[in-house]
Amino acid sequence: MFQPDLLKDKVILVTGGGSGLGKSMGKRFLELGAKLAIASRREEVLAATAKELQDATGGEVFYTTCDIRKPDQVEQMMDAVWNHYGTIDVLLNNAAGNFAAPTATLSHRAVDAVLNIVLHGTWYCTLALGKKWIAEERGGTMLNIIATYAWTGAPFVAPSATAKAGVMALTQSLAVEWGKYGIRMNAIAPGPFPTEGAAMRLSPTGSFEGRLESIPLRRLGKHDELSNLAAYLVSDYSEYITGDVITIDGGKWLAGAADFSKLDQLTEEEWAQFAAQAKAQK
């Protein structure tokens, strides 16, 4: 499926593409023939990533700084990428902000810090490019990175959960409203994938490795696995998929939701005692 020309000449803009998962997905898009644009706030990070990815793949990487919380900067980013490549085919809304803290300790500024990036920033990018596509009478594909707690909620990261739920609703709403313009909207909900940005902010140990017991497949996600899913969802092979959220989490959220998941920890002896106790109820 992943032929080297899968994404040939598709212009793909990745927000937050200088680090973590955005960087990995951008690299995969380049390997599959795409022309890449990356944007975020830190120019030195973008410049280093652009060079690294160009050297590694031989593909073209354009970068432009943008704080997606600022609608003017978002417009400028879209214009810069559009002028550079002559079009934009795909937007990957990947940029995010997050941290774990007891909710009762948060100030309103702390809530805004996450909501402004994840919900408002994603909205501004979506609206700016969607309007361009509609005015140009051309379609396009948007892919939004959310999290499985968009539908379960999550203690200690409630602003992020709220914002990701909003991005899921945005995805579903516009898939229907903009389908007639040839615009596809989908989302990916990843489980834990090791990145410095996430692990340092979300785990007191700075690593997700301590959580493997809660994942049915007993390992963290690999960046290539997410990148290949993203490549499929922005490729022409998924042309009839819109409004969906694909989960890639090794079964983690279902295990957390299922009442009996913890029985997995019983020893053989404990199972035998348990069975005897249950059978005695006849």
Q: Which residues bind ligand NAP (CB under 6 A)?
A: 15-16, 18-22, 40-42, 45, 66-69, 94-98, 117, 121, 145, 147, 190, 192-193, 195, 197-198
By beta-carbon proximity to ligand HXC, the closer residue of 130 and 250 is: 250
For residues 144 to 173, the per-residue mask of contacts with ligand HXC, x marking binding by CB under 6 A and - elsewhere, is ---x------------x-------------
Instruction: Please pick, from the candidates 5, 86, 104, 109, the single residue that binds ligand HXC as defined by CB under 6 A.
Output: 109
Instruction: State how far the Cα of 154 lies from the Cα of 160, in Å rounded to an integer.
Output: 8
CA-to-CA separations, 245 to 14, 159, 169, 232, 248, in angstroms, rounded: 18, 20, 10, 13, 10
For 82, the 3-state DSSP assignment is helix
**Site map (CB under 6 A) of ligand HXC, residues 182-201, x = contact:** ----------x----xx--x
Distance CA 128, CA 274 (A): 59
Among ligand NAP, ligand HXC, none, the one that 142 touches (CB under a kind-dependent 5 to 8 A) is none
CB nearer ligand HXC, residue 88 or residue 117? 117
Structure tokens at 130: 């969607």
Number of Cβ within a 10 Å radius of residue 56: 11
Question: Does position 232 bind ligand HXC by CB under 6 A?
Answer: no
Q: How far is the CB of 183 from ligand NAP (least distance, A)?
A: 21
What percent of the chain is helix, strand and coil (3-state, nearest 5)? Answer: 55, 15, 35
Which of 63, 85, 124, 149 is labelled catalytic? 149
Q: Which residues contact 124 (CB under 8 A, 6 or more apart)?
A: 68, 69, 70, 71, 74
Q: Of these partners, ligand NAP, ligand HXC, none, which one is at the site of residue 227 (CB under 5 to 8 Å by kind)?
A: none
Instruction: Outline where DSSP puts E strands in 82-213.
Output: 90-93, 140-145, 183-190
CA distance 86 to 63: 15
Answer yes or no whether residue 221 interacts with ligand HXC by CB under 6 A.
no
**149 given a catalytic annotation:** yes
Is residue 110 involved in binding ligand HXC (CB under 6 A)?
A: yes
3-class secondary-structure state, position 13:
strand
| E strand residue ranges, 101-165 | 140-145
Which residue shows structure tokens 């361009």?
A: 132
Smallest distance, ligand NAP to C-beta of residue 241, A: 20
Residue 109: contacted member of ligand NAP, ligand HXC, none (CB under 5 to 8 Å, by partner type): ligand HXC
110 is in the binding site of which of ligand NAP, ligand HXC, none (Cβ under 5 to 8 A by kind)?
ligand HXC
Q: How far is CA 227 from CA 113, 123, 244, in A?
A: 27, 23, 17
Q: Which partner, ligand NAP, ligand HXC, none, binds residue 127 by CB below 5 to 8 Å per kind?
A: none
Examine residue 235 and tell whether it contacts ligand HXC (CB under 6 A).
no
Which residues of this chain interact with ligand HXC, rule CB under 6 A? Answer: 96-99, 101, 107, 109-110, 113-114, 147, 160, 192, 197-198, 201-202
User: Hey, which residues are catalytic here?
Assistant: 149
